[in-house]
Amino acid sequence: MPASTDDRPSPLALTRRARRADRLLAERYPDAGCELDFTTPFELLVATVLSAQTTDVRVNQVTPALFARYPDAAALAGADRAELEELVRPTGFFRAKTQSLLGLAQALVERHGGDVPPRMEELVRLPGVGRKTANVVLGNAFGVPGLPVDTHVGRVARRLGLTAEDDPVAVEHELGALLPRSAWVMASHRLIVHGRRTCHARRPACGACPLAALCPSYGLGETDPQAAARLVKDGPPPR
């Protein structure tokens, strides 16, 4: 289990652990990066909203037709609700997501002339946009350092003893203090892919983990190297 707040290492030791973990994950997952397909900040924002409670692969199957029909905020703001619902239906929770997309597009048109603002404080005021979504857009569309924390990032960070927090914003701040700003975006991608492929929620592949030597939670999952290797999931299919 992750270390308690009473026996956590010093801030210096945690910083060293976090940065070594990031280096090791970079070696293990050189393909890590944003797995949502996009060509503009608007497309990434919409795709990120759609990615809630579904896979990036599923979103990428939906967005080509969606963006062909509604290529910008103005077009999406005027979308027919029933038509939009059918387009996003495969991503699940399609009625709620349709409502979020319509509100988001209308707010972009009314407040920002249809453009996606490149600032956290303005992004999080948009309907359906929280810090995680804002950080995804800032880091991947605008090159602004951000550290999106999803369930994978939070789980892996806690297992590594880098945080004891459950709240994503608190995890974001604690991890951000351990890593240089220039590393935030890619560190998030690497933690996500590690959580998806190796450090699974129910049965982590400890025996096949590149972080085994520095992880205080080693042994939580399968430690036999061969058995653990069978638990490791492949990466996304080629595009």
Residues carrying an active site annotation: 132, 150
Amino acid identity for residue 101 in this structure: L
How far is it, in rounded angstroms, from Cα 49 to Cα 136? 10
How far is it, in rounded angstroms, from Cα 70 to Cα 134? 21
**H-type alpha helices, 113-183:** 120-123, 131-141, 151-159, 168-178
- Inter-residue contact 147 to 185 (CB < 8 Å): yes
- Residues sharing a CB contact under 8 Å with residue 188, sequence separation 6 or more, in sequence order: 135, 139, 146, 147, 148, 149, 153
